[in-house]
């Protein structure tokens, strides 16, 4: 039987090409991943572009019902919303309605990408955070405000420049973003955004920076595995995945 240890459901934006391969690469034996793409109208613009991103974020919340109900048919142990900026748009502490709605539609516990990152940061004892984002300025500001409201001191911050399409970015750019966001007093670096390819460079970054580096996709799988009762260390993807 596939998913004999756990089946994890994942909701993701329709244009995101990054979540599936990154999560598949990190998943331990006996864990299966099942994906559904959020429904959005054509009016919200081209996936990945900065223009219209705020409208797309609203549309993602409105397009959850059908895909989430479809995921419920595989009887997942947990369903993850793989979109960090949805939490930023709502603001820290204002997401419970979204969590409850996904859980009710899925018939399983729901996990938001930002909540997974929060659990990871707390697990690692982080108090002073360096934040790197690939978003437009307005959404990056929302992200910075979110983590400040969550109780973290933002010791370093950088927004990736010259992004025309988030989904066309690469690991080299993610590596440079982390280096630019880092600060000497930061306990860890958080690379926000599920569309930004990150997991292939996490180990390299941790060696070069001498501190934990967390990304949205890494944290999502880490917390989803924990919620599913799977506690198997996974090597090659940063300190966090070795501490399951």
Model pLDDT, residue 1: 82
Q: Are 162 and 99 in the same domain?
A: no
Q: In what order do the strands lie in the sheet with 110-112?
A: 31-37, 6-12, 78-81, 110-112
3 state SS of 134: coil
Distance between CA atoms of 145 and 157, rounded to whole angstroms? 12
CATH of the domain at 134: 3.40.50.1860
Model pLDDT, residue 59: 76
Q: Are 19 and 42 in the same domain?
A: yes
**Residue 203, token pair as written in the block:** 């180990």
Residue 92 within a domain: yes
Range of the domain at 228: 6-114+217-239
Q: Are 25 and 145 in the same domain?
A: no
Q: Are 44 and 28 in the same domain?
A: yes
Question: What DSSP string runs through 141-196?
Answer: HHHHHHHHHTT-EEEEEEE--S-SBGGG--HHHHHHHHHHH--TT-SEEEE--TTS
pLDDT digits (tens, 9 = 90+) for 107-162: 999 999 999 999 999 999 999 999 999 999 999 999 999 999 999 999 999 999 99
Q: Are 77 and 138 in the same domain?
A: no
Residue 244 within a domain: no
Residue 193 within a domain: yes
Backbone angles phi and psi of 116, in degrees to 5: -65, -45
Residue 165 within a domain: yes
Question: 161: Cβ–Cβ under 8 A, 6 or more apart, which residues?
Answer: none
pTM for this structure? 0.95
Tell me what the mean pLDDT of segment 84-105 comes to.
96
CATH of the domain at 68: 3.40.50.12500
Residue 208 within a domain: yes
Q: Are 160 and 226 in the same domain?
A: no
Predicted confidence band of residue 45 (pLDDT cuts 50, 70, 90)? low
Which sign, positive or negative, has the C-alpha torsion 232, 190, 11, 142?
positive
Residue 134 within a domain: yes
Q: Are 186 and 228 in the same domain?
A: no
Asked if the model's pLDDT at residue 50 lies above 60, the reply is: no
Element (H, E) at 112: strand 110-112
Q: Are 85 and 164 in the same domain?
A: no
- Count structural domains, the chain: 2
Q: Are 210 and 142 in the same domain?
A: yes
- DSSP letter assigned to residue 125: T
Torsion of CA 187, 169, 26, 10, to 10 degrees: 100
Residue 173 within a domain: yes
Q: Are 147 and 232 in the same domain?
A: no
Residue 1 within a domain: no
Cβ-contact 242, 235 below 8 angstroms: yes
Question: What DSSP string runs through 66-100?
Answer: HHHHHHGGG--SEEEE--HHHHHHH-TT--HHHHH
Tell me what the mean pLDDT of segment 26-46 comes to.
85
Cβ-contact 243, 237 below 8 angstroms: no
Enumerate the β-bridge partners of residue 81. 11, 112
Q: Are 138 and 191 in the same domain?
A: yes
3 state SS of 101: helix
Mean pLDDT rounded to a whole number for the chain? 94
Q: Are 11 and 74 in the same domain?
A: yes
């Amino acid at each position: 039987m596939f998913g004999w240890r756990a089946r994890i459901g994942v909701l993701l934006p329709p244009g995101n090409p990054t979540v599936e391969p990154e999560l598949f690469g990190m998943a331990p034996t006996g864990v299966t991943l099942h994906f559904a793409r959020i429904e959005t109208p054509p009016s919200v613009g081209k996936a990945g572009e900065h223009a219209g991103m705020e409208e797309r974020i609203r549309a993602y919340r409105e397009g959850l019902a059908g895909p989430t109900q479809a995921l419920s048919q595989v009887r997942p142990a947990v369903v993850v919303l793989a979109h960090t900026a949805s939490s930023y748009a709502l603001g820290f502490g204002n997401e419970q309605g979204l969590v409850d709605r996904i859980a009710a539609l899925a018939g399983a516990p729901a996990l938001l990408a930002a909540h997974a990152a929060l659990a990871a940061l707390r697990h690692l004892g982080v108090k002073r955070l360096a934040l790197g984002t690939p978003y437009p300025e307005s959404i990056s500001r929302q992200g910075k405000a979110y983590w400040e409201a969550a109780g973290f001191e933002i010791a370093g911050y950088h927004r990736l420049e010259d992004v025309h399409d988030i989904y066309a970015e690469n690991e080299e750019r993610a590596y440079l973003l982390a280096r630019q966001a880092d600060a000497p007093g930061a306990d860890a670096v958080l690379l926000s955004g599920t569309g930004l390819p990150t997991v292939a460079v996490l180990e390299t970054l941790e060696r070069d920076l001498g501190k934990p580096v967390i990304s949205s996709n890494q944290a999502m799988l880490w917390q989803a595995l924990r919620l599913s009762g799977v506690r198997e260390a996974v090597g090659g993807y940063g300190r966090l995945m070795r501490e399951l």
